[in-house]
Structure formats: C-alpha cells, structure tokens
Amino acid sequence: MDKVDSAMETSREGMRTLWLSLGILGLTTVVQAVVVALSGSVALLGDTIHNGTDALTAVPLGIAFVVGRRAANRRYTYGYGRAEDLAGIAIVLTIAVSSALAAYEAIDRLLSPRDVSHLWAVAAAAVVGFIGNEWVARYRIRTGRRIGSAALVADGLHARADGFTSLAVLLGAGGAAIGWRAADPIVGLLITLAILMVLKDAAREVYRRLMDAVDPQYVNRAENALRVVDGVREVGQVRMRWIGHALRAEVDIVVAPDLTVAAAHRLAVEAEHALIHAVPRLTAATVHTDPSGDHSGPHSALAHHADA
C-alpha cells in the first residue's frame, strides 16, 4: 500500500510540474507572438516557436504520467511505466522539428532581408522569454530528478536551452538597432545551433533510459549494501532497470551451503531491505541466493522477490 501511495504521489507531483510549466510557457509564448507580429523579428520568431513547442511537450508527458498509474496485468506484467520513455521520444522529435522550422525561417530571412521594427519590444520579449524558460527549466529538472523521470529532465533541458536562446535575441535586436540587417537572421541560426546541442543531450538521456542504463553509483551502492549484510559471503551480478520513474533490481548473493530454505529466505529478505534503503528510487528487488561452491547459476537457487 505504501508503494502504491508513493507512486501516486510521484505521478501527481509530475502532473503539477507539467501544468504549471504549461501555464508559464503558454503565457510567455503569447507575449512573444504578439511582439513577432509587430516587429517581424525572425530571431524572436524562432524563440517563440521553441517556447510554444516546449509548452506543448507537457501533453505527451501528462498522458504518460496518467497511463503510468495503471496497474500491472497479465499482458503488461511490469505495468505501464515505460509510457514515459515513449513520451521522451516524442519530446526529442518535437525539439528536432521545431529547430528545423526555426532554421528554415532564419535562412529565408537571410536570403530575403527585411527590417525589424519595435526593437525595444523585441528586447523586452527576449528578457521575458529567458525568465519564463529558466524558471520552468529549474522546476522541471529538479522535479524530474527527484521523481526519477528522464523524460521530465529532458524537457527541462529543452526549456533551459530556450531560455538562453531568448537572450540571443537581444543580440539580434542590438545588431538591427545599428543598421545590420543580417543580425536578426544570423542570431536565428545561432539559436538553432544551440537547440541542436540540447537535442543531443535530451536524445542521449532518453536513449540511455530506453537501453536500461542506470547511474553506476546506484550499482555501487547496491553492492556495498549487500556486502555488509550478515550471512552474505559474496555478491554476484547486480542488474537494475527503470520502469517509469521507479527502479527495479535483480541481484545474486552467495550464502553458506548448509542454510535451510527458511534461513536462506530470511537472508534474502534482509538483503532486499538493505537494497531498498541504500538505493534511491528502488521500489522492488528480486534476490537470488546461491550456496557457496554451487556454479549452477541463479536459476537453481532460491529466489526471493519483494516490493517496497
């Protein structure tokens, strides 16, 4: 019951972060869109596009959090937590499409230069974009790391990049103010390059999650926790994977060959409790006990599975 309550609270926290982010970025996008219509700044247009798409990424993430609440069944025996990984893919694709659109607009304006008006409004909109994006980035990354959501962290990185590209719009406005017409589209291209760098980081984060990568420090913590359990002679293979924003583990431990089944079971329970307390976000573990000197592998040994 505690595990279910914790999962529900984690999902609710993620949803709160998403909807608040959507509101802040939505307002920022509307303000910038009005200034784009007045000024014709392609650099600000690129920033507005990125802010708009960043706000909309709350939709697939929100769906993933809702789907992830569904209980495991006979078809999806590990539950629906992987929906967040699918949302991460959608976010990466959204970043890629928005950067391509911004690049197209910047190149078109570079080939067909036009004057930018209302430069003071462009500069003000750039500052608004930076403040809004940086606040959202900090909030998403902090929440994502706390609840173990790689997709939310990737979304936060996207927002952070948009914040710095908002500042770049100021350079375009400054260049236009001194009569350099190419400044605005050039800054638009620089914004696109910055977004591509964030795209690389976000794609790497999502790829690692899809490939069941975990922080090696978590493996070290698990091994150290098992070694200090009384009765554990050796620690064998340690496997971990993310299911949504929760970790699951499978570990092998070597115990005395003369232990009874009941004693081996008690030892496996102790090992599982040690893992739960040592590794953040670990909610379930399966512990295989092998008698020392037995090389037949974990499939012939007693396996204890427990949920936090």
Q: Is the pLDDT of residue 296 over 70?
A: no
84 and 105 assigned to the same domain: yes
CA dist 267 and 18 (Å) reads: 42
pLDDT band at residue 14 under the 50/70/90 scheme: confident
Same domain, 178 and 85: yes
Average pLDDT estimate for 189-202: 79
Count of domains forming the chain: 2
* Closest by Cα among 219, 280, 240, 242 to 88: 242
Last residue of a domain, one of 178, 210, 242: 210
User: pLDDT, tens digit, for every residue of 223-256?
Assistant: 999 999 999 999 999 999 988 778 899 999 999 9
Query: Do 28 and 153 sit in the same domain of this protein?
Result: yes
Residue 231, domain CATH: 3.30.70.1350
Quote the pTM value: 0.68
Structural domain for 59, as ranges? 2-210
What mean pLDDT value characterizes the chain?
A: 80
Higher-pLDDT residue of 261 and 10 is: 261
* pLDDT, position 116: 65
Boundary of a domain, candidates 176, 210, 244 = 210
Q: How many CB atoms lie within 10 A of CB 113?
A: 12
Would you state the structure tokens that stand for residue 141, as one six-digit string?
């990354």
Asked which of 66-70, 183-187, 268-272, 285-289 is least confident by mean pLDDT, the reply is 183-187
Rounded mean pLDDT, 268-274: 93
Same-domain status, 61 and 137 = yes
- The secondary structure of residue 300, as a DSSP letter, is G
The CATH code of the domain that includes 158 is 1.20.1510.10
Share of the chain above pLDDT 90, in %: 20
Asked if 298 and 244 count as a contact pair (C-beta separation under 8 A), the reply is no
Q: Same domain for 11 and 135? A: yes
Q: Are residues 74 and 47 in the same domain?
A: yes
Looking at the structure, do residues 166 and 17 belong to the same domain, yes or no?
yes
pLDDT digits (tens, 9 = 90+) for 129-180: 888 888 888 888 888 887 777 767 877 877 777 777 777 776 777 776 777 7
Q: Are residues 118 and 142 in the same domain?
A: yes
Give the per-residue pLDDT at 66. 81
Query: Are 204 and 248 contained in the same domain?
Result: no
Q: How would residue 11 be classed by pLDDT, with cut points 50, 70 and 90?
A: low
What would the two tokens of residue 117 be? 């008006």
169 and 186 part of one domain: yes
- CA distance to 35, 43, 109, 152, 170, per residue, from 105 (Å): 16, 9, 6, 28, 18
Among 160, 189, 210, the domain-final residue is 210
- Confidence class for position 1, pLDDT limits 50, 70, 90: very low
pLDDT digits (tens, 9 = 90+) for 34-93: 888 888 777 777 778 777 777 777 788 788 878 887 888 999 888 888 888 888 888 888
Burial of 37 (0-12, 13-18, 19+ CB in 10 A): exposed
- C-alpha angle 284/276/252, rounded to 5°? 70
Give the C-alpha distances (Å, rounded to integers) separating 284 from 165, 201, 274, 304: 42, 29, 12, 11
| Residue 220 and residue 202 in one domain | no
Are 196 and 238 members of one domain?
no
How high is the pLDDT of residue 10? 62
Residue 294 has pLDDT above 90, yes or no: no
Cα gap 307→216, rounded to integer Å: 22
- Asked if residue 298 has pLDDT above 60, the reply is no
